[in-house]
Amino acid sequence: MTKLAFVFPGQGSQVIGMGQDVYEQVGSARSLFEKANECLEHGFTNLIFKGEQETLTLTQNAQPALLTTSMALYKTFLERGGMAPDFAAGHSLGEYTAYTAMGALSFEDAVKLVRQRGLFMEAAVPAGEGAMSAILGIEEAALLDVVSTITESGHPVQLANINSPGQIVISGTSEGVRLASVLAKERGAKRCLPLVVSGPFHSSLMKPAASQLEETLNGIQISEPHSPVVANYTAMPVALNEIKASLVHQLYSPVRWQQSIEFMIGEGTDIFVEFGPGTVLSGLIKKINRKVRTYSIRDLETCDEVIAQLKGEVANG
């Protein structure tokens, strides 16, 4: 029997103009963008559709912009005949979108929450003192030994995103990331690619932001999701009373994306649908398991195409 999982991207996928066609043509999508304007500031949608990429990429803007766009695409999917999933998951910020799509968070709470999350993350570490880098072509265990060695030498660095076999992102102090990249190359890594980010996300340096996030989360109502959401922190669904704690841990712990996808596949998932402006997650999923089928809903055209394909898959499955 065919099982579906819906996945939602994290920071880095944002692009000027994302979601504009569904805003202009789909009532439920338009209402979400207008709610974002009300919750954040007048003109927020104008930043998404016609602003400067540099301004959109600021963490406190990118996070609510991506959540709003992915949710608008998801609402469009439902309005035009799409079905519910068996699982949902999101990469970092995308986990908040997954909880929102599955009804655990209200959209208004979620968009304000991720704006605050972005501000907390930006403020946690002074600019230039933290860094992230993608390390390609080395096993997780070997890279874990690398970052442990560098951290013990006095330069904190750790695994941040376990994305797929052979692609792991490290995060920490600028010097820690630099030294770990050098040592990783010495121990067989094929490439080390510094990431253009504003801070050392998913590292222990984010703990000050996590404390602030915890306070904010304590004032927000979270309900049981309609479908299980696989948490980044555990790589499996968590109980309702554990969701807030897992989101706090997520901020300074690795995003266990590869393990999350493997969990859903192990539960019988054979189709993944990505809702967002890019295809980053679809690409990672294919690297994890080439046998599963992936679809990407990026705009109105791809939404209608994917709905037609999914109905055929489900009918035949």
Q: Token pair of 213, please? A: 């996030």
Tens digit of each residue's pLDDT (9 = 90 or more) over 138-156: 999 999 999 999 999 999 9
Blockwise average pLDDT, block size 10, the chain, 317 residues: 94 94 96 96 92 93 97 97 96 98 98 96 90 96 98 98 97 97 97 90 96 97 98 98 98 98 97 96 97 97 95 73
Residues ≥6 apart with Cβ < 8 Å to 68: 19, 32, 33, 36, 45, 48, 111
Q: What is the CATH number of domain 4-124+205-316?
A: 3.40.366.10
The pLDDT of residue 12 is 87
The one catalytic residue in 202, 246, 253, 296 is 202
| 271-275 and 293-297 beta bridge pairing | parallel
Is 8:279 a contact under the CB 8 Å cutoff? no
**Does the annotation count 91 as an active-site position?**
no
Q: Which CATH number is 130-197's, of 3.90.1150.10, 3.10.20.30, 3.30.470.20, 3.30.70.250?
A: 3.30.70.250
**pLDDT computed for residue 3 by the predictor:** 95
Domain extent listing, the chain: 4-124+205-316, 130-197
Which one of 13, 70, 91, 92 is the catalytic residue?
Answer: 92
Is residue 155 flagged as an active site residue? no
Return the pLDDT at 317: 60
CA-based nearest residue to 157, from 123, 194, 187: 194
